[in-house]
């Protein structure tokens, strides 16, 4: 029975040439079955001549001189990657990456991580982009899945979520790639020293060119949404954001919103509470009738992120442009306002 110590290469000899890869792996100590061998392949634990293999390579025939390497404890390979991950890799758009942090420009329609309790149920909304797995009815691929896949070849790298934006919000999200970086970044967000600036298209005529929204909000876990609360209400937390009107259209406005706090769905509910629901908003209309403007998602984009790098100690800033759907919405509003 051939033995292949973890992380070591084995050169295929003449006697083993012509064997199916999965059968050859099944004879290894620690495998014991073709099913286990296929699992190793599916989880990226097997390399042939320096190239990572997949489950589709199970029937590959080995040739004399082939180098086979097995990496059992490869980081990120403990669980099978979601189906459709390879096709979804185009959705990961790093705005910045080093060994300690990865800043991604998230497209709309992609969850940051699986919802609590299970992998997220697929929710198809016409006109909103969805990952390939979601469109096929398979368990939904998340941005965290894509980041894990992206860094899986780096030993000791374990991506961790630092903060979140909503599924249908686009823009910047930062992941920590080491535990120390995660602790450092989480502390910044808790102390409100990380700067987050959003662009939002809201309904109506915004009379003040700039201002501050201050509200008390309470998160209702059962309903999975925020609600206005009294300052003395249990669970009530202050939410503060400043806004500036960048462009006023007929019946809508483009705002720049700077978060002072980071409550879930904060901009969406505060815009509604102050009389200007985000265009495309379905949940936080708060008594406002849906207007004539239609959009497939809430028109909200995390455009700028600034924080102190957890290793260098220098403040770094990232800016990403509006996605195509929001560019199209603004172009349409400008044309209608002439």
Q: Which residues lie closer than 8 Å to 320 by C-beta, 6 or more apart?
A: 95, 105, 171, 172, 303
What CATH class is the domain 9-70? Answer: alpha beta
259 neighbors 300 (Cβ within 8 angstroms): no
SS3 284: coil
Comparison of pLDDT for 35 and 303, the residue scoring more:
303
Q: Which of 1-5, 39-43, 83-87, 186-190 has the highest mean pLDDT?
A: 186-190
51 neighbors 9 (Cβ within 8 angstroms): no
Q: Is residue 120 scored above 60 in pLDDT?
A: no
Angle at 189 between CA 243 and CA 233, to 5 degrees: 75
pLDDT confidence tier of residue 105, bands split at 50, 70 and 90:
very high
Distance of CA 140 to the CA centre of its chain: 12
Write out the two tokens for 119: 């992998």
226 neighbors 273 (Cβ within 8 angstroms): no
The residues that bridge with 255 in the sheet, in sequence order, are: 200, 245
Q: Is residue 136 scored above 50 in pLDDT?
A: no
Residues 146-203 have pLDDT tens digits of 999 898 877 668 899 999 999 999 999 999 999 899 999 999 999 999 999 999 999 9
193 neighbors 308 (Cβ within 8 angstroms): yes
What is the DSSP pairing of strand 101-106 with strand 170-176? Answer: antiparallel
**Entry pTM:** 0.74
pLDDT confidence tier of residue 7, bands split at 50, 70 and 90:
low
Q: Match 């992998």 to its residue by tokens.
A: 119
CATH homologous superfamily of 82-191 equals Pseudouridine synthase (3.30.2350.10)
Point out the catalytic residue in the list 22, 66, 166, 168: 166
Write out the two tokens for 107: 């497209």
Q: How far is CA 140 from CA 92, 94, 112, 130, 136, in A?
A: 15, 20, 11, 9, 9
DSSP secondary structure, 55-114, as one string: GGGTTPBP-TT-EEEE-TT-TT-SSPPPTTHHHHGGG--EEEE-SSEEEEEEPTT--SSP
The residues that bridge with 11 in the sheet, in sequence order, are: 67
- Of 215, 218, 206, 328, the closest CA to residue 256 belongs to 206
How big is the chain by its Cα radius of gyration, in Å? 24
For residues 119 and 315, what is the distance between their CA atoms, to the nearest angstrom?
A: 35
CATH tag, 192-338? 3.30.2350.10
Helices (H) and strands (E) in the chain, counts: 8, 15
Per-residue pLDDT at 157: 81
Q: Where are the domains of the chain?
A: 9-70, 82-191, 192-338
Per-residue pLDDT at 76: 59
Same fold, 9-70 and 192-338: no
Write out the two tokens for 154: 């780096």
For residues 289 and 298, what is the distance between their CA atoms, to the nearest angstrom?
A: 15
Answer yes or no: 6 catalytic: no
Per-residue pLDDT at 108: 96
């Amino acid at each position: 029975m051939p033995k292949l110590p973890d992380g070591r290469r084995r050169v295929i000899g003449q006697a083993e040439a012509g064997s199916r890869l999965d059968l050859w792996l099944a004879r290894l100590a620690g495998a014991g079955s073709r099913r286990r061998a296929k699992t190793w392949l599916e989880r990226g634990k097997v390399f042939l001549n320096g190239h990572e293999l997949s489950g589709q390579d199970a029937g590959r025939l080995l040739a004399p001189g082939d180098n086979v390497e097995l990496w059992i404890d490869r980081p990120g390979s403990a669980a099978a990657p979601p189906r459709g991950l390879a096709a979804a890799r185009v959705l990961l758009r790093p705005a910045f990456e080093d060994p300690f942090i990865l800043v991604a420009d998230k497209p709309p329609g992609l969850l940051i991580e699986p919802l609590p309790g299970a992998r997220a149920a697929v929710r198809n909304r016409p006109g909103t982009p969805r990952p390939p797995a979601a469109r096929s009815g398979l368990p939904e691929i998340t941005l965290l899945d894509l980041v894990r896949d992206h860094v899986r070849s780096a030993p000791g790298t374990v991506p961790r979520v630092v903060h979140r934006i909503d599924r249908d919000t686009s823009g910047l999200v930062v992941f920590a790639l080491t535990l120390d970086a995660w602790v450092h970044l989480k502390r910044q967000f808790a102390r409100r020293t990380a700067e987050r600036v959003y662009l939002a298209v809201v309904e109506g005529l915004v009379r003040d060119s700039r201002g501050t929204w201050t509200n008390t909000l309470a998160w209702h876990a059962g309903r999975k949404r925020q609600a206005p609360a009294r300052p003395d209400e249990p669970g009530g937390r202050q939410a503060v954001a400043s806004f500036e009107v960048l462009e006023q259209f007929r019946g809508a406005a483009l705002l720049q919103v700077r978060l002072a706090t980071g409550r879930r769905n904060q901009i969406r509910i505060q815009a509604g509470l102050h009389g200007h629901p985000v265009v495309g908003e379905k949940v936080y209309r708060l008594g406002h009738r849906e207007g004539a403007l239609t959009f497939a998602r809430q028109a909200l984009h995390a455009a700028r992120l600034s924080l102190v790098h957890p290793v260098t100690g220098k403040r770094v800033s990232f800016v990403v442009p509006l996605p195509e759907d929001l560019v199209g919405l603004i172009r349409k509003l400008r044309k209608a306002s002439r």
